[in-house]
Amino acid sequence: MIPTRYPNKTELKPLLDLFNALHPIGKRVEIYLQKNIYCCEVKKGDLLVKGGEICDSIYFIRKGVLRGFITEEDKEITTWVTIENEVVATITGFLLQKPTMENIQAIEDCELLAIKWEDLDRLYMKYPSFNIVGRKLTEQYYMYAENRAYITRLHDAEKKYEILMELYAHLLNRIPLKYIASFLGITIETLSRVRARGNTRNKHKTTQPQQTRTSRSKK
């Protein structure tokens, strides 16, 4: 991804807030980030990272939705989806600077902040306290990965969707059903049936108390 420009303070603030929430970064680190983070954009449907390439930067989503996917026999398998105020990269492609198997694609037009691998590595060496931020981010995303692995290993489609609703309800109205089904490892038809049953149960739960009160008032 070719840098388009460097962010202003307003654009950089959400990322600095994220870092400071994990561990105070200090003024010198903030100045370093201002000089080394760049802005980039990716249009809906385009690839930010392509399988077989090295992921040379790590990205913060200012606006939009990204998904990760791998391909098997010309079939795309969605591995994750995320939205604003999250940090994304391909693990092997970025951390090891080796060709990645994973692709990153924009589901919506995206505005991103990014930092090159070598600039982040230099930051860790120059300001060791920032390693705490890196560790806490890694811990956070390791937990996300564990949740995703748990969902995909379940066999019960309704249980898969139930957990998805618990963990990722904030994403569902922005993601095409084909990507949700792919992430869960089920067909779109199965996903539609599960969603329909869930909506029916939720409607029943909503109306049941009213029916009970009505029946009591008649006694």
Q: In this structure, are residues 33 and 12 in contact, taking their beta carbons and an 8 Å threshold?
A: yes
> How high is the pLDDT of residue 64?
97
Would you state the structure tokens that stand for residue 55, as one six-digit string?
């992921």
Enclosing H/E stretch for 115: strand 110-116
pTM (2 d.p.)? 0.85
**pLDDT bucket at 218, cuts 50 / 70 / 90:** very low
71 phi and psi, to 5 degrees?
A: -120, 140
Q: In this structure, are residues 110 and 64 in contact, taking their beta carbons and an 8 Å threshold?
A: yes
Residue 178, CA distances (Å) to 31, 160, 182, 188 in order: 42, 15, 6, 6
In CATH, which of 2.60.120.10, 2.40.400.10, 2.60.120.260, 3.90.1070.10 is domain 1-153?
2.60.120.10
How far from the centroid of its chain's Cα atoms is residue 91's Cα?
13
Which of 123-132, 193-202, 203-212 ranks highest by mean pLDDT?
123-132
pLDDT tens digits along 121-176: 999 999 999 999 999 999 998 998 898 889 988 999 999 999 999 988 888 889 99
Percent of the chain with pLDDT over 90: 74
